[in-house]
């Protein structure tokens, strides 16, 4: 099993939304490096659900990959914010996965707090200039974050 961190703006999909939905599609990733990470995910992998672009950015809980990567249908939907006019049914460069809720943390582990943790110094999230919406997490980093909740 691999571990990941995936970011979502809570007004689009929050950990609370995922808990209510139980299972949903994670789509709309439009960065090639982040897309490649999604393509590396396997059913059963877990990820930290990170709330971004909000008053309290941070890790809000844990979710699980329930279906490995498949062509992102939002790229083909002209009504979607994630529509890609260059994508087609035959050649869709974007990937989605299905995810399910595992756990909502009692409190969000804020970015400032995460940056203070020496065990997380190599986590891409806490490094300057890191803007990816999907990133790998090592087993050691996973355990370190779990100890903070």
Q: Which residue has the tokens 């994630």?
A: 82
Residue 4's pLDDT is: 98
Residue 136's pLDDT is: 97
Q: Write the CB contacts of 67 (distance below 8 Å, at least 6 apart in sequence).
A: 43, 97, 98
CB 137 within 8 A of CB 4: yes
pLDDT in tens, 38-58: 999 999 999 999 999 999 999
- CATH architecture of the domain covering 3-135: Roll (3.10)
The Cα–Cα gap between 88 and 118 comes to 45
Mean pLDDT for 91-110 is 98
Mean pLDDT for 16-40 is 97
Q: Write the CB contacts of 127 (distance below 8 Å, at least 6 apart in sequence).
A: none
Pair of tokens at residue 18: 């995922």
Residue 129's pLDDT is: 83
Domain boundaries, the chain: 3-135
Q: Is the pLDDT of residue 11 over 90?
A: yes
Q: Which of these, 119, 122, 130, 125, lies nearest to 59 by C-alpha position?
A: 125
């Amino acid at each position: 099993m691999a571990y990941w961190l995936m970011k979502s703006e809570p007004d689009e999909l929050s950990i609370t939304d995922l808990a209510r939905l139980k299972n949903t599609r994670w789509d709309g990733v439009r960065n090639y490096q982040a897309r490649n990470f999604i393509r590396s995910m396997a059913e059963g992998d877990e990820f930290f659900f990170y709330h971004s672009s909000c008053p309290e950015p941070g890790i809000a809980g844990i979710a699980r990959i329930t279906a490995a990567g498949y062509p992102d249908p939002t790229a083909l939907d002209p009504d979607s914010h994630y529509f890609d006019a260059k994508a087609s049914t035959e050649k869709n460069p974007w990937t989605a996965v299905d995810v399910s809720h595992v756990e909502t943390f009692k409190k969000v582990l804020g970015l400032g707090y995460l940056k203070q943790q020496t065990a997380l110094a190599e986590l891409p999230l806490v490094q300057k200039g890191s803007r990816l919406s999907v990133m790998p997490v090592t087993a050691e980093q996973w355990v370190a974050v779990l100890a903070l909740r």
